[in-house]
Amino acid sequence: MPAVRDGVRGAVITGWGSALPPKVLTNKDLEGMFDTNDEWIVERTGIRERRVGGTTAGLSVESGRQAMEMAGIEPAAIDALILATTTPDRRVPATASTVQHELGLTCGAFDVNAACSGWVYGLVTAHGLIAMGAEKVLLIGTDTLARITDWDDRNTAVLFADGSGASVIEAVDGPGQLLGWDLDSDGSAERFLYAEIDGFLMMEGREVFRRAVRIMVDSATKSLAHAGVKAEDIALVVPHQANIRIISAAMDRLGLPMERASVVLDRTGNTSSASIPLALNEALEQGRVSDGDLVLFVGFGAGMSAASAVVRWSTDVDEHQP
Ligand code: ACO
């Protein structure tokens, strides 16, 4: 099972950045587009407004640049760019190639599509690259779901939106942040949430909801076990931002109070690959995470994918030197 092995070179997140398109779409705006109302959307999803617009490359460049500036590193120092996205700008090449060029990077660049679990998949992949010798990895989670949402379909249009979150991950000589991780997929459930090439997102909401809670809790439980920690030791849960009721049910089953979850979906909607880094970044900006705290990331999405990771937070690279 994927516990982090002793002796593997570790890594820490040293910089982060967020990007949201300027255009705000409120629930009131949606009332004018199809048969819905603010009260229903808030009660059933927790979402009040969302941001729409921009391209996956454009938002990624914005969040990626912020993360590199915060980490204080030059583009040439990045050894790999991982872009988690379900909505590439073009079929070919990978949108990561466009972002690599626009950020002035000189490294390899590739997209990861694991739907809303994408950033956690990318986090684990970044640690794998670092274990094999990479020093610095730029991980960006970006989605522009508005482009593949049918704005006449109230089942999906109230949920999906656009955004980007980026993280610089740097190698350290000590054990690093990552204590345990889990990546899952159940392709037999792909029919409940999909978009054909050039098609809109199609979803059986109730079925996705039912499975989402179960697979989030299953994945989180595996990561906690691999990390050798208990749920109550977790200071902050950073869950995928799909629906406040899904987050609340998952927190409940993990035996954790809602105050320990980072929630941004009321203002962002479901931004898929961007949702976990956006929620992490806000918690960091609000000073909700201190060095030494245990943080649990947990996502689920189309596929159906699920992914989680437990980290012991620390931003001080030097602290980890032997
Ligand atoms: N506005 C008003 N009424 C609505 C709306 C709407 N936007 N949508 C549905 N309704 C109505 C339905 O027609 C139904 O009416 P009826 O009782 O007269 O038949 C009633 O509200 C209840 O419908 P449900 O589908 O049972 O509503 P539910 O409580 O399940 O909420 C929702 C629907 C919000 C979609 C929920 O099922 C959900 O969040 N599912 C998970 C979705 C999700 O997380 N997707 C993203 C996965 S991540 C990724 O990979 C992108």
Paired residues of 162 in beta bridges: 144
How far, in Å, is the centroid of ligand 1 from the Cα of 100?
38
- Give residue 320's pLDDT: 47
Ligand 1 neighbourhood includes 248 CB (under 6 angstroms): no
Set out the domains of the chain in order of their start, with CATH numbers. 10-172 (3.40.47.10), 178-315 (3.40.47.10)
How far, in Å, is the centroid of ligand 1 from the Cα of 272?
17
How far is Cα 216 from Cα 231, in angstroms, rounded to an integer?
13
| Percentage of the chain modeled with pLDDT above 70 | 97
Q: Is the peptide bond before 258 cis (omega within 30 degrees of 0)?
A: no
- Provide the mean pLDDT of the chain: 96
pLDDT band at 321 (very low <50, low <70, confident <90, very high): very low
Q: Do 109 and 96 contact (CB within 8 A), yes or no? A: yes
- Give residue 8's pLDDT: 82
Helix locations, 77-204, DSSP H = 95-102, 118-131, 154-157
pLDDT band at 2 (very low <50, low <70, confident <90, very high): low
Quote the distance between the C-alpha of residue 252 and its chain's center: 21
Ligand 1 neighbourhood includes 302 CB (under 6 angstroms): yes
Report the first-to-last Cα separation within the chain, whole angstroms. Answer: 28
| Percentage of the chain modeled with pLDDT above 90 | 93
| pLDDT surpasses 70 at 192 | yes
Ligand 1 neighbourhood includes 33 CB (under 6 angstroms): no
- Taking only the tens place, the pLDDT of each residue in 44-92 is 999 999 999 999 999 999 999 999 999 999 999 999 999 999 999 999 9
How far, in Å, is the centroid of ligand 1 from the Cα of 205?
5
Ligand 1 neighbourhood includes 206 CB (under 6 angstroms): yes
| pLDDT surpasses 60 at 198 | yes
- Taking only the tens place, the pLDDT of each residue in 268-283 is 999 999 999 999 999 9
- Give residue 5's pLDDT: 73
Ligand 1 neighbourhood includes 155 CB (under 6 angstroms): yes
Residue nearest to atom 23 of ligand 1 (CA): 206
Sequence-separated (6 or more) residues with CB below 8 Å from residue 190: 302, 303, 304
- Taking only the tens place, the pLDDT of each residue in 148-175 is 999 999 999 999 999 999 999 999 988 8
| pLDDT surpasses 80 at 95 | yes
Q: How far is CA 30 from CA 35, 98, 120, 150, 231, in A?
A: 8, 33, 31, 12, 38
- Give residue 219's pLDDT: 98
pTM: 0.96
Residue nearest to atom 49 of ligand 1 (CA): 301
Ligand 1 neighbourhood includes 272 CB (under 6 angstroms): yes
- Taking only the tens place, the pLDDT of each residue in 130-146 is 999 999 999 999 999 99
User: Nearest Cα to 232, choosing from 257, 201, 211, 207?
Assistant: 257
User: Nearest Cα to 277, choosing from 4, 66, 44?
Assistant: 66
- Whether 270 is a known active-site residue: answer yes
How far is Cα 296 from Cα 312, in angstroms, rounded to an integer?
9
- Whether 107 is a known active-site residue: answer no
Ligand 1: which of 44, 142, 184, 201 to mutate, most ligand atoms within 8 Å of CB?
A: 44
